[in-house]
Amino acid sequence: MTSPPATPPKAPMDPTGDTDPQLLQHLFDRQALTALALRSSTARERAAKLRRLRDGLLERREALYQAFAADLRKPPLEVELTELLPVADEARHAIAHLARWMRPRRVRPTLTTLGTRARVLYQPRGRCLIIGPWNYPVNTLLGPLVSAIAAGNAVILKPSEFTPHVNAVVAELVAALFDSAEVALVHGGVATAQHLLALPFDHVFFTGSPAVGKVVMGAAAQHLASVTLELGGKSPVIVDASADLRRAAELVLWGKFTNAGQTCVAPDHVYVHRSVHARFVQLCQETLAARYGRTDAAVQASPDLARMVTRRHAERVGGLIDDALARGATLLAGGGHDAAQRYVAPTLLGNVPGDARISGEEIFGPVLPIEPYDALQDVIGRINAQPKPLALYLFSRHRPTQALVTAQTSSGGLCLNHCVQQYAHGGLPFGGVNHSGIGNAHGVYGFKAFSHERACLAAGPFTVVRLFFAPYTALRHRLSTALVNALRWV
Ligand code: NAD
């Protein structure tokens, strides 16, 4: 540990600027002692911090409405449901269960450890780094922070550089509640993230794209820091002929167009059985018109539709639509975009060819390709030929179909006849698999992500091992043979 400078460098006032690497080092060094002290913190103390965090967040509701309007033009209802509610619920769940999660777990002795007492201890990892994305800047930063505090860690938070207004509110909240020796928020982009990643944190919790996830894992490997990677990917939807089509259309469009499609678990594209394809498309068109307006002008003026986070992101998603149409895709709804306004209309596409860019990259915007299928096995084969997605949605009332898709595919989470709600259940692990992520968040899974499960074995008065000390006499060898053979009894 290097000694901290006498006068610590100042944090940038501008939340779009990078943070001085010296300040990062200073914060990291200061957190070492706090991390040690936090090892002995009680459930009551941690729960009190979580209450303050939850209450402090909700007290800043109005400031957050305005900040979200500036960064994403996000409707206040979506701020409530997708930013405040998940963090408040994560905190509530942790407060209610923390004492039990922290309790050492007794483990019965095995044949070879007879006479010992074994326990699993849940100890804080120490100093943790949480790096967030821009799409849910409160939820993806403070949700993991709840788990990190519940587990007793010191934390440095680095939000995405693309949501400066929201970051300013969150930074003020963190500074008001915590000494930076315990929880500090630093602003900055790629350079700041890379400086942080060069520090030997005990755990790195990253939410973002698979491409950057690989960079983060590579950097963490230099220190053998453990990682949780919450990544993205192309989450497919299957709608079979038995599905409740209206319900499917309503839920899929809700999951897709909330936050203008900038959601990690948003449906990316839909496979619909050919026999119900036309009806499903019609229901989607009707639902879109009822929610956002019947003319292009009405949709663009809708207060219920968020914007792309930057002009560059709007250009990317607009470019995906134009590229698909140029290659022969059919426009089923929407299609308009205006990068200067960061606007992309809710768009439905049909006949999207496999070589269109939108078929290969995570859409992450309000565009939904819908494709008919004839045989379920073909769809399963196509899903399995792609990297494992973060979510898979199946709309089917047919139990054998549900069982088949469940058994023959893999994804971070699976949601049957519903959309996105697998994320909202605090008792379920939330995470990806391989390309869509490593490790889990939420509830006890988040607590464990930020904890070291430490094995602790204490000797009793008698220990079996003494029977096998050298010299290895014939009797002792017979005993060891009998012990090994005893393992065949069960
Ligand atoms: P991103 O990977 O571009 O950026 C995420 C964070 O990493 C930001 O803080 C950014 O400053 C930092 N970063 C960017 N490039 C870096 C580099 N080269 N080295 C170190 N750090 C770097 O992701 P994004 O565009 O902010 O977010 C969108 C992605 O996040 C999508 O793929 C989405 O699916 C995913 N996501 C996943 C979840 C989840 O819970 N699984 C939640 C939200 C978003």
Q: Which atom of ligand 1 is nearest to the CA of 230?
A: 41
Q: What is residue 328's predicted lDDT score, i.e. its pLDDT?
A: 97
Query: Measured between alpha carbons, how far is 320 from 244 in angstroms, rounded to an integer?
Result: 30
Residue 264: strand, helix, or coil: coil
Two tokens, residue 345: 């209309």
Q: What is residue 7's predicted lDDT score, i.e. its pLDDT?
A: 40
Q: Which atom of ligand 1 is nearest to the CA of 136?
A: 43
Convert 294-326 into a string of H (helix), E (strand) and C (coil). Answer: CCHHHHHHCCCCCCCCCHHHHHHHHHHHHHHHH
Q: Establish whether residue 18 lines the binding site of ligand 1, counting it when its CB lies within 6 angstroms of any ligand atom.
A: no
Q: What is residue 462's predicted lDDT score, i.e. its pLDDT?
A: 84
Give the type of residue at 1. M
Mutation test of ligand 1: which of 135, 156, 166 has the most ligand atoms closer than 8 Å to its C-beta? 135
Q: What is residue 489's predicted lDDT score, i.e. its pLDDT?
A: 82
Nearby residues of 342 by Cβ (< 8 Å), 6 or more positions away: 73, 307, 308, 309, 310, 311, 313, 314
What is the H or E stretch that residue 81 is in? Answer: none
Residue 132 CA to ligand 1 center (angstroms) comes to 6
Mutation test of ligand 1: which of 131, 185, 209 has the most ligand atoms closer than 8 Å to its C-beta? 209
Query: Measured between alpha carbons, how far is 105 from 108 in angstroms, rounded to an integer?
Result: 10
**Is 0.85 surpassed by the pTM of this model?**
yes
Q: Establish whether residue 262 lines the binding site of ligand 1, counting it when its CB lies within 6 angstroms of any ligand atom.
A: no
Residue 167 CA to ligand 1 center (angstroms) comes to 15
Q: Establish whether residue 310 lines the binding site of ligand 1, counting it when its CB lies within 6 angstroms of any ligand atom.
A: no
Q: Establish whether residue 180 lines the binding site of ligand 1, counting it when its CB lies within 6 angstroms of any ligand atom.
A: no
Q: Establish whether residue 464 lines the binding site of ligand 1, counting it when its CB lies within 6 angstroms of any ligand atom.
A: no
Q: Do β-strands 117-124 and 105-107 pair in parallel, antiparallel, or remain unpaired? A: antiparallel
Q: What is residue 459's predicted lDDT score, i.e. its pLDDT?
A: 93
236-431: CATH superfamily: Aldehyde Dehydrogenase; Chain A, domain 2 (3.40.309.10)
Residue-range domain boundaries for the chain: 21-231+441-452, 236-431
Tell me which residue has its CA closest to atom 35 in ligand 1. 208
Please state at what angle helix 85-102 crosses helix 43-59, rounded to 10 degrees.
180
Q: Establish whether residue 387 lines the binding site of ligand 1, counting it when its CB lies within 6 angstroms of any ligand atom.
A: no
Question: Does CATH number 3.40.50.720 belong to domain 21-231+441-452?
Answer: no
Q: Which atom of ligand 1 is nearest to the CA of 232?
A: 34
Could you read off the pLDDT of 339-380 as tens digits, one per residue? 999 999 999 999 999 999 999 999 999 999 999 999 999 999
Query: Measured between alpha carbons, how far is 261 from 268 in angstroms, rounded to an integer?
Result: 9
Q: Establish whether residue 433 lines the binding site of ligand 1, counting it when its CB lies within 6 angstroms of any ligand atom.
A: no
Q: What is residue 385's predicted lDDT score, i.e. its pLDDT?
A: 97
Q: What is residue 305's predicted lDDT score, i.e. its pLDDT?
A: 97
Two tokens, residue 131: 């790096």
Q: What is residue 15's predicted lDDT score, i.e. its pLDDT?
A: 62
Residue 478: strand, helix, or coil: helix
Q: What is residue 463's predicted lDDT score, i.e. its pLDDT?
A: 83
Residue 451 CA to ligand 1 center (angstroms) comes to 23
Active site residues: 230, 264
Two tokens, residue 457: 């074995």
Q: Mean pLDDT in runs of 10 for the chain (490 residues)?
A: 37 68 97 98 98 98 98 98 98 98 96 92 98 98 98 98 97 98 97 98 98 98 98 97 98 98 98 98 98 96 97 98 98 97 98 97 98 98 98 98 98 98 96 98 98 96 89 97 88
Residue 234 CA to ligand 1 center (angstroms) comes to 15
Q: Establish whether residue 167 lines the binding site of ligand 1, counting it when its CB lies within 6 angstroms of any ligand atom.
A: no
Query: Measured between alpha carbons, how far is 312 from 35 in angstroms, rounded to an integer?
Result: 40
Residue 162 CA to ligand 1 center (angstroms) comes to 11
Could you read off the pLDDT of 42-55 as tens digits, one per residue? 999 999 999 999 99
